Amino acid sequence: MKIINGKILSDSLNKKLSKNLFLLKKENSISPSLVVILVGNNSASSLYVRNKEKKALEVGIKSYVVRLDEKIKEEELLSVIQEYNERSDIDGILVQLPLPLHINSDKITDKINIEKDVDGFNSKNIGLLALGRPNVIPCTPLGCYFMLDHFTTLKGKNVTIIGRSNIVGKPLSYLLTNKNATVTLVHSKSLNIKKICSESDIIVAAIGKPNFIKKNWVNKNSIIIDVGINVLKEKDGTKKIVGDVDYLKVSKEVKAISPVPGGVGPMTIHCLLLNTYLLAKKRRNILH
């Protein structure tokens, strides 16, 4: 069994990106900048935002975090986004999800200018991806693709994606279809998921339920990407992060598997930084 290690892969991709950012600064005097908008005090979101900020600085991307009150009105948030849409010094805008319930997330993601939409969640960017003409590819799906592409060929492979969210499952299904895989997208109303998975070459789990994928769902040639992030409380009160796959048992039965933590998470952050770099160049028509 091989471990598809997102930490090692993202470290090497971040190094390459850092070199490209250095060249962009040297040759074009451009240092891309990212603004992350965080509404409220969700502790998981704050942790993700801190990790993103740290990695951005490491590779050489300027990153600003804008912290807004949980009770902010939708209109006010829309005008904050508009301000960053208009600022010529900002290359990427990310609004950390989930947002408080009184705010319509669709309106917010659609407010971000598609030329600064580093998460790729604007409906126009999702539409372009679905049409096979991507502008920005959402970070987690792109990270999953890089992991798979590093490990195997996708052309003609049967891929089952479990979970049809707008941020992971659906965009990943478009991306892998564009890359010539044969994709089955299943969800909570699907029937026979276990059988579909056991007959697949690749399984991507994006559900949000610990130990969901069992060892009798896979075969010795299965390649598994585990997107899930679930926090479990141990008996002694400590917290443990696990994915959606029963890792200890499943990893003994398959060809390859990505761990949690150290799998899709660091790749998602790499893709956020890559998207910021690519958008900074695109906005200025720098083609190399």
CB 279 within 8 A of CB 116: yes
Looking at the DSSP bridge assignments, the partners of residue 256 are 2, 223
Nearer to ligand NAP, 90 or 94 (CB): 94
Of the candidate residues 81, 147, 206, 213, the single one contacting ligand NAP (CB under 6 A): 206
* The one segment of 61-69, 101-109, 226-234, 274-282 that binds ligand NAP by CB under 6 A: 226-234
Nearer to ligand NAP, 80 or 118 (CB): 118
Give strand ranges (E) for the chain: 2-3, 33-39, 62-68, 92-95, 158-162, 182-186, 202-205, 223-226, 230-233, 239-242, 256-257
Dist CA 283 CA 129 (whole Å): 19
Residue with the CB atom nearest ligand NAP in the bound state: 165
CB 136 within 8 A of CB 120: yes
Q: Is 31 in the site for ligand NAP (CB under 6 A)?
A: no
Neighbours of 37 (CB within 10 A): 22
Of the candidate residues 32, 228, 251, 279, the single one contacting ligand NAP (CB under 6 A): 228
Dist CA 77 CA 103 (whole Å): 9
Question: Smallest gap, in angstroms, from Cβ of residue 172 to ligand NAP?
Answer: 9
Given 3-state DSSP classes, what are the helix, strand and coil percentages for the chain, each rounded to the nearest 5?
45, 20, 40
132: phi then psi, degrees, rounded to nearest 5: 80, 20
Of the candidate residues 59, 95, 161, 167, the single one contacting ligand NAP (CB under 6 A): 167
Of the candidate residues 164, 214, 282, 283, the single one contacting ligand NAP (CB under 6 A): 164
Respond yes or no: is residue 82 known to be catalytic.
Answer: no
Q: Is 56 in the site for ligand NAP (CB under 6 A)?
A: no
Catalytic residue among 91, 96, 157, 244: 96
Q: How far is CA 248 from the centre of its chain?
A: 24
Q: Is 172 in the site for ligand NAP (CB under 6 A)?
A: no
104 contacts: CB under 8 Å, gap ≥ 6? 74
Question: Smallest gap, in angstroms, from Cβ of residue 32 to ligand NAP?
Answer: 21
Q: How far is CA 172 from the centre of its chain?
A: 10
* The one segment of 17-25, 77-85, 122-130, 180-188 that binds ligand NAP by CB under 6 A: 180-188
Of the candidate residues 213, 229, 257, 273, the single one contacting ligand NAP (CB under 6 A): 229
- The tokens for 153 are 């060929």
Of the candidate residues 179, 187, 214, 281, the single one contacting ligand NAP (CB under 6 A): 187
Respond yes or no: is residue 119 known to be catalytic.
Answer: yes
Of the candidate residues 14, 122, 125, 140, the single one contacting ligand NAP (CB under 6 A): 140
Task: Provide the binding-site residues for ligand NAP, judged by CB under 6 A.
Answer: 140, 162-165, 167-169, 186-189, 193, 206-209, 227-230, 264-265, 268
Q: Give catalytic residues, as residue numbers.
A: 52, 96, 119
